[in-house]
Homo-oligomer: A and B are copies of this chain.
Amino acid sequence: MALPSIKCQSCSINQLCLPVMLAESEVEHLDSIIQRKKPLTKNEMLFRSGEEFHAIYAVRSGCIKSYTISETGEEQITGFHLAGEIIGLDAISSGKHPSMAKALETSMVCTIPYPKLEMLSGEIPGLRQQLVRVMSREIHDDQELMLLLNKKSADERLAAFLLNLSSRFGKRGLSRTCFNLVMTRGDIANYLGLAVETVSRLFTKLQQNDLIAIKDKEVTITDISKLSVLAGGKCHH
């Protein structure tokens, strides 16, 4: 590995990632099992469904989309993962990846060999706890998403999606009000269970109502409170 190997200890997002609450020496130990390869380029696959499960992955930078393909060939995007987020947790139970992951832009990813992580988590209680917390959080987030998809209208879904991104960028020290949409309208539509055309129309409408402004792929949230109200569900009664 002839790359400028950033260590967990000095990683800017280690408080969003696995090292949370670990002692210095424990982080070092964790760092020692992690592999860092060269960045994924746009559209490069991280793993494919059906592949054997060897490792989970932590996003260091960029954005990775994960998705499943149904028997009938329909693609369903299950998440857009930003720095600090862990990918591949759905593969632990069966030992094979049920989903696929692909870079939406040039992205750095840390490979965490699972058998080693498993062993290490036997020695480091804090690591075990953090892994479980991360998984618990994913379960929780998926449940919230279910509510969104089942109970909200198209406008509400898109508004909630933008606010979710906003908050996640904010946590990473980036602007909450102005950020880049790395995914296509098609990706957003797929994720939210809508048609591309619907998403496009909604973006237009949100702009006309001065809730957001869009320049190319850059979104600016100009009225976050109105957007929040919209996302909350405007009580159609």
- A→B interface (CB under 8 Å): 68, 70-72, 74, 76, 78, 89-94, 98-99, 118, 121-122, 125, 128-129, 131-140, 142-147, 149-151, 190, 192-193, 232-233, 235
Contact = CB atoms under 8 A, between A and B. Distances in A.
Contacts of A89: 135-136, 139
Nearest to A79: B143
A151 B118 contact: no
A146 B146 CA distance: 7
Given A70-B151, A76-B143, 13 more contacts: A68-B147, A70-B147, A70-B233, A78-B146, A89-B136, A89-B139, A90-B136, A90-B139, A90-B140, A91-B140, A93-B133, A99-B143, A139-B139
Contact of A140 (B70, B72, B93, B140): B93
Given A121-B128, A193-B151, A232-B72, A143 B142 contact: yes
A228 to B, nearest CB: 10
A233 B71 CA distance: 9
B147 A139 contact: no
A25 to B, nearest CB: 18
Nearest to A98: B140
14 contacts: A68-B144, A68-B147, A78-B143, A91-B136, A91-B140, A93-B134, A93-B136, A93-B140, A98-B143, A99-B143, A122-B125, A138-B139, A146-B146, A151-B193
A92 B136 contact: yes
Please list the 9 inter-chain residue pairs (A to B) with the smallest Cβ-Cβ separation, ordered nearest first.
A150-B193, A92-B136, A93-B136, A142-B142, A76-B147, A93-B137, A72-B233, A90-B140, A135-B135
Nearest to A129: B118
A190 B149 CA distance: 12
Contacts of A125: 118, 122
Nearest to A233: B72
A133 B76 CA distance: 23
Nearest to A234: B72
A205 B189 CA distance: 31
Contact of A147 (B74, B92, B143): B74
